[in-house]
Structure 1
Amino acid sequence: MTRSTRRSRTVALTATAVVIALGATACGGSSSNTGSGSPSKGGTLTILDDADFNHIDPQRTYTTEGSSMDYELVRTLTGWDETGSQPKLVGDLATDTGTPTKGATVWTFHLRHGVKWQDGSEVTAQDVKYGVERAFSPDINGGPPYASQWLVGGDSYKGPYQGKQLASIQTPDKYTLVFHLNQPVADFNETTAMTGWSAVPKAHDTGATYDTHVWSDGPYMIKSYTKNKEMVLVRNKNWSQATDPIRQQNLDEIDAKFGQDQAAIDQQIKSDGGSAQTAITQTPIAGSDLTTMAGDPSLKSRYYKIPAPGINYMAINMNRVKDIKVREAIEYAVDKTTVRGAFGGSAYGNYATTMLAPGIDGHKDFNLYSSNPAGDLTKAKALMKQAGNPKPTMSLAVENIPTHEHFADAVKTALAKIGITVNITPIDKNNYFSTVDNVKNQYDLTWGDWIADWPNASTVLPTLFDGRQIKKLPQSNNDLSYLNDPKVNAQIDKIGKMTDIKQRNAAYGDLDEQILKDAAVVPLMYMNFSEVSGSKVGGVIDDSIMAEPSLVHAYIKQ
């Protein structure tokens, strides 16, 4: 997915994550506005976002906002029930969470009978197969890479648009799917909770323009969608509560409006007047507002603070900033106090020294650089001297929003003190990740953030630092530092084969430290995400998997 204002996501890779995830303490901490008794029916929920979704095509979305919105439109094979104290994996389109055989290299799912598309036709196994297959097409880029990594033949398959099918996805009958994997994946059924494992009816697939034409088998369907302006969802009359264990259909409409300044959105919802009473934002409170809103007791019942299993960081391009002394100097020079101030101060999160956040299995406490979050200019200058006192000019890619402008200014000011000139490159927020993830677009420094699907190191380090993926996924490269260290790659493979949980976790902590020794990234903050709703919005759930307010039970208080 996904990152602090348009935050990126990943999927889990480990065979142990099922045990780990379900045994972990659920992230929470805010007031879930669920109310008591039966939810009200009717009304329009307005979503105010500063920018449009990067994608809502289920095979392309890799952001938390896009994925969260998709939950209203599409069903996945499995999904998360978050109504209890801990997230619980359940069957969604499937009757249960699947059956592994042959050492978890074959997974079988049986679909529920009677799940309907918005036109009343039944959702079939062939629709799911086609949906997964279309993700392999070069035209449907940007989504998670794991189907191509795990499914037999996926490394050479190019999607269904030339009439070819992927033989490793079998549909022996209308309601049965069998996936053949090239390696054991004991938590494959958690991967299938992501939107990429949803159905798409071939007859209604519009290819690269499917973002605005997503065909619904969920409780709501698209009535209209004007990119960068507004998307209106209405009830899907062919959706049935009897077939859906996760969602409700309490609203008449969901109206998502895009393009307003985030600070203006925050103030509008905070004021709680008129239509703001029935509104919510999916993007975090702007840095300039966060401190005051976080401490406002009048907002407590409608303020959502969700600790994210993720990291806010700045990647250093190893191919462009080749001298490790210069990279180390950057590590020491960055003033994290001013950086955190740009994002909203202490309410946004704690200072980071590792890529694995506390609470993620595999996290290891260490700090290879400055013990002072404000940095250590003396050490940074000494390192630059060892490097020959170069005076480089570096590009810094950020989103074109005020919070990021302030962040970029903080970095520019800090690095100027050690002789590095920073040219800030603002990128349209709607297209930020599709731009920086494309290897054709090279920057010296790149802001990024990353949210795991659940708190395990395997959902962070392999995706962000396996250098072999740079060449394999040139349009969807998540390795923003372009780290391609044979030692790191080999360790990723070695850890992936470990079956002992404690051994794996310790090895991931050591791998995190090795990556920081390469000075490939500057960890900035371990993140909290804070959003706010109007006083008449009920049924909001803290989604600790997505680090989003979940709207699957949302209703308007009458």
Structure 2
Amino acid sequence: MTRTPRTTRRSRTVALSATAVVIALGATACAGPSSGSGSGAPGKGGTLTILDKADFDHLDPQRVYTTEGSSMDEEIVRTLTGWDETGPKPKLVGDLATDTGTPSKGATVWTFHLRHGVKYQDGTEVTAPDVKYGVERFFSSDINGGPPYASQWLVGGADYKGPYQGKELGSIRTPDMYTIVFHLNQPVADFNETTAMPGWSAVPKAHDTGSTYDTKVWSDGPYMIKSYTKNKELILTRNTHWSQSTDPIRQQNVDEMDVEFGQDEAAIDQQIKADAGTARTSIQQWPIAGSDLAQLAGDPSLKSRYYKIPAPGINYLAINTTRVKDLKVRQAIEYAIDKTTVRGAFGGSAYGDYATTMLSPGIGGYRKFNLYSANPAGNLAKAKELMQQAGNPRPAMSIAVENTPTQEHFADAVKTALGRIGIHVNISPIDAADYFSTVDNVKNQYDLTWGDWIADWPNASTVLPTLFDGRLIKKNPQANQDLSYLNDPKVNALIDKAAGMTDVKQRNAAYGQMDRQILKDAAVVPLTYMNFSDMSGSKVGGVIPDTILAEPSLVHVYVKH
């Protein structure tokens, strides 16, 4: 999943056993709800202001695949299952469903029973056919950008083209108005964790506006869209038909949520730090700017409203292997990158530890290794030696980054490092709101691409297959996650091997081997294992550090009076 994104994106082709789920969740324990400064019971009423540097890539639940968009959707739409993060570690619970689902036939069939009395914003009841229709939207070419699990796992998904031509997907069955059954083409023991993602939600056919649904999402959550002016403002107001008695995850404490887009990251940081006026009832969703992070992270006066959220994810530089074809050149880039200056652009040590692998600590399958420079500042002599072995080319390469100061400082660090070995880097800033939809399109012409990735849930199966299965490139030309365009038969074979394993240790070993092969291919430069830091104003309470999305969760948020 991409986070800007803190990130969301991923593709998984593996079934986790229950044991693996327990191990994964145990490794990502999070703090309970934070009340910010002060104490007292949650307040009711008031307006929460959310300050974001750019608009959401998508809010359409079948298209969203960034953490900011996914976190915002939790206020608007409900999913079959969801994560209760009020305890010491995330707990999977039923959301629209009464429980976390029932597997049968070797986890190739999953049955969910819906709660009675869940209402849309117009007072009509949510039904199983609405969920079926919502999931079927995943398959339409007009609705692209979301995760690939439905098309990978549902029987007949490879050939289904979505509901807009009047056809249904037979592997999703609704024997009655409150029961939905999914038939899978392989065992998926943790399918019920997939169904906690936004796309596994209900969309009433009568209110589906197709490709414009982003601004017209029909709510069955505590808040509904009152108005949405793209790139300017989103205002959510109470869904008066939502009932706390049917919702085990969310509360409805504030009257409105006002999301304002377009301020510079540093301006947002300083506004919330100053804690004056509406800033006192404001929060940010995108991380603190790299230029501010070190100072704000160490400011004791901000401690009660500063959220450092560990992310099961990685910040990385993808090398397009179809454009940078010489392995020696790619290896030279691995040695040349100065991770100290790169991390400095993102805020220094508070942002995270230096990375040498694509799997981060705490993710099932992680193995500690380092194939390149032992010094985070790089090994210039080795990089020059490899360029010499490649014939001393002096190529020009383009790097794609977001058009933010943090990202552009990062690009400058890469340009300086690669300039030392004769590679001229042209920086291509892309509007942050459109970044992933741009770089994920296979028509892009970038040699180097910044990316970050947060596991859809904490296992390697939600990281490596999505980012490096070369067979998915043709399947997802407008939503390709393989920014390295790596299509290594060795990696693909390991993906398939892991998919067939039920033993947790064996499967994790396969993922560790896969991670090593990807680094042997020099397809990407791992940069940092990420933390995300955000702030709120002093009158904001009930914020939950969401370690699944690495976002400040707003499901219990309130404004103090």
Is this a same-fold pair by TM over 0.5? yes
1:165-176 mapped onto 2 (5 Å cutoff): 165-176=168-179
Q: C-alpha separation between the residues in 1 aligned to 2:289 and 2:17?
A: 33
Q: CA deviation at 1:442?
A: 2.5
| Contact 1:291 1:344 (C-alpha < 8 Å) held by counterparts | yes
Distance 1:6 1:497 in 2: 30
Over 3 Å counting, the alpha-carbon distance change for 1:266 and 1:39 in structure 2 is same
Answer yes or no: is the 8 Å Cα contact 2:104–2:110 preserved in 1.
yes
Deviations, residues 157-189 of structure 1 (Å, cap 9, x unaligned): 110011111111111111110111011111100
In the aligned structure 1, how far is the partner of 2:337 from the partner of 2:241? 54
Output one character per residue of 1:454-473: Cα deviation in whole Å (capped at 9) or x when no partner.
22111111110000000111
Deviations 1:42-67 (A, max 9, x none): 00000000000010000000000000
Asked whether 1:239 is paired with 2:237, we answer no
Q: What are the superposed Cα offsets for residues 112-156 of structure 1, whole Å, 9 maximum, x if unpaired? A: 001001000000111000000011100000000110010011001
Map 1:498-513 onto structure 2 (within 5 A). Answer: 498-513=501-516
Aligned residue number for residue 557 of structure 2: 554
Equivalent AA in structure 2 for residue 468 of structure 1: R
- Give the deviation of 1:36 after TM superposition: 5.7
> Partner of 1:516 in structure 2?
519
Cα distance in 2, alignment partners of residues 477 and 89 from structure 1: 29
Unmatched runs of 5 consecutive residues or more in structure 2: none
Which residue of 2 is the match for residue 28 of structure 1? Answer: 30
Deviation at 1:18, TM superposition (A): 4.2
- CA change 1:31–1:137 in 2 (3 A) is closer
Matches of 1:256 and 1:80, distance apart in 2: 23
Match of 2:19 in 1: 19
Q: Does residue 76 of the first structure (1) align with residue 79 of the second (2)?
A: yes
Mapped pair 1:527 → 2:535 = no
Q: How far apart, CA to CA, are the structure 1 residues paired with 2:201 and 2:134?
A: 6
Q: Please say if residues 76 and 194 of structure 1, whose CA atoms lie closer than 8 Å, have aligned partners that are also in contact.
A: yes
Instruction: Give, in whole Å, the separation in 1 of the partners of 2:21 and 2:313.
Output: 15
- 1:65-90, Cα deviation, whole Å (9 max, x unpaired): 00000000000000001111111111
Distance apart, 1:38 and its partner CA = 3.4
1:498 deviation in Å? 1.0
Q: Tell me how far apart the structure 1 counterparts of residues 17 and 274 of structure 2 sit (CA, whole Å).
A: 42
Q: Is the 8 A contact 1:540 1:551 kept in 2?
A: yes
Q: Give yes or no for the alignment of 1:157 onto 2:143.
A: no
Distance in 2, matches of 1:58 and 1:102, equals 29
Q: Which letter maps to 1:217?
A: D
Deviation (angstroms), 1:335: 0.6
| Structure 1 position 520, deviation (Å) | 0.3
- Following superposition, the deviation at residue 39 of structure 1 comes to 1.2
Partner letter of residue 169 of structure 1? I
CA contact (8 A) 1:219 1:247 kept: yes
Aligned mates of 2:374, 2:123 — CA distance in 1: 61
Q: Which residue of 1 aligns with 2:127?
A: 124
- Structure 1 counterpart of 2:493: 490
Q: Is contact 1:4-1:312 (8 Å) kept? A: no
Q: Deviations over 1:211-259 (max 9, x none)?
A: 0000000000000000000000000000000110000000100000000
Q: After superposition, where does 1:28-47 map in structure 2 within 5 Å?
A: 28=30, 32-33=34-35, 38-47=41-50
Partner of residue 10, structure 1: 10
Q: How does 1:285-296 map to 2 (within 5 A)?
A: 285-296=288-299
- Which stretch of structure 1 is more off in the superposition, 9-18 or 537-546? 9-18
Name the CA distance, whole Å, in 1 between partners of 2:509 and 2:482: 22
Residues 312 and 362, structure 2, Cα contact 8 Å, conserved in 1: yes
SS at match of 1:320: coil
Q: Secondary structure at the match of 2:530?
A: strand
Distance in 2, matches of 1:5 and 1:116, equals: 31
Which residue number in structure 1 is paired with residue 390 of structure 2?
387
Deviations 1:247-300 (A, max 9, x none): 000010000000000100000000111110000000000000000000000000
1:134 aligns with 2:155: no
State how far apart, in whole Å, the 1-side matches of 2:536 and 2:549 are.
18
TM-aligned CA deviation for residue 37 of structure 1: 5.4
Determine if contact 1:9/1:64 at 8 Å carries over to the other structure: no
Partner of residue 415, structure 1: 418
Q: Report the RMSD for the aligned CA atoms in angstroms.
A: 1.3
Distance, in Å, in 2 between the alignment partners of 1:352 and 1:483 is 20
- Structure 1: gaps (5+ residues): none
- SS of the residue aligned with 1:264? helix
Correspondence for 1:359 among 362, 366, 372: 362
For residue 398 of structure 2, what is the amino acid of its counterpart?
S
Paired residue for 1:470? 473
The answer for the alignment partner of 1:213 in structure 2 is 216
Give the aligned partner of residue 251 of structure 1. 254
Give the corresponding residue for 1:457.
Answer: 460
Q: Is the 8 A contact 1:12 1:453 kept in 2?
A: no
Report the AA paired with residue 211 of structure 1: D
1:27 and 1:307 in contact (8 A); partners too: no
Superposed CA deviations along residues 377-399 of structure 1, whole A, max 9, x for unmatched, are 10000000000001111110111
Deviations 1:518-556 (A, max 9, x none): 000000000000000000100000111111110000000
Call closer, same or farther: CA 1:17–1:317 in 2, change over 3 Å. farther
The aligned amino acid for 1:416 is: G
Partners of 2:350 and 2:60 in 1: CA distance: 33
- Once the two structures are superposed, residues 296-334 of structure 1 have per-residue CA deviations (whole angstroms, 9 ceiling, x without a partner) of 000000000011000000000010000000000000001
- Partners of 2:313 and 2:455 within 8 A in 1: yes
Q: SS at 2:2's partner residue? A: coil
Shift of residue 361, structure 1, vs aligned partner: 1.4
What is the rounded CA distance, in whole Å, between the counterparts of 2:17 and 2:410 in structure 1? 34
Equivalent residue letter for 2:507: R
Contact 1:11 1:191 in 2 (8 A): no
- 1:25 maps to amino acid: A
Aligned position for 2:205: 202
**Identity value in percent:** 78
State yes or no: 1:63 paired with 2:66: yes
CA distance in 2, matches of 1:459, 1:68: 18
The residue type equivalent to 2:143 in the other structure is I
What TM-score, normalized by structure 2, do the two folds share? 0.98
| Cα distance, 1:496 vs structure 2 | 1.1
Give the distance between the partners of 2:360 and 2:186, measured in 1 at CA.
28
Per the TM alignment, residue 29 of structure 1 is displaced from its structure 2 partner at its CA by 6.3
Match for residue 319 of structure 2? 316
Aligned ranges 1:109-120 → 2 under 5 Å:
109-120=112-123
User: What is the rounded CA distance, in whole Å, between the counterparts of 1:168 and 1:455 in structure 2?
Assistant: 27
| Per-residue deviation, 1:362 | 1.0
Q: Distance in 1 between matches of 2:287 and 2:440?
A: 22
> Structure 1: how far apart are the matches of 2:560 and 2:185?
50
Q: Amino acid of the residue matched to residue 352 of structure 1? A: A
CA distance in structure 2 between the aligned counterparts of 1:80 and 1:3, rounded to whole angstroms: 19
State the 1:432 CA deviation: 0.5
Residue 280 of structure 1 aligns to a residue in which SS? strand
Q: Are the structure 2 counterparts of residues 355 and 316 from structure 1 closer, same or farther at C-alpha, using a change threshold of 3 Å?
A: same
1:19 maps to amino acid: T
8 Å CA contact 1:293–1:299 kept in 2: the answer is yes
- 1:358 is paired with a residue whose SS is coil
Within the candidate set 106, 109, 120, 1:103 is matched to 106
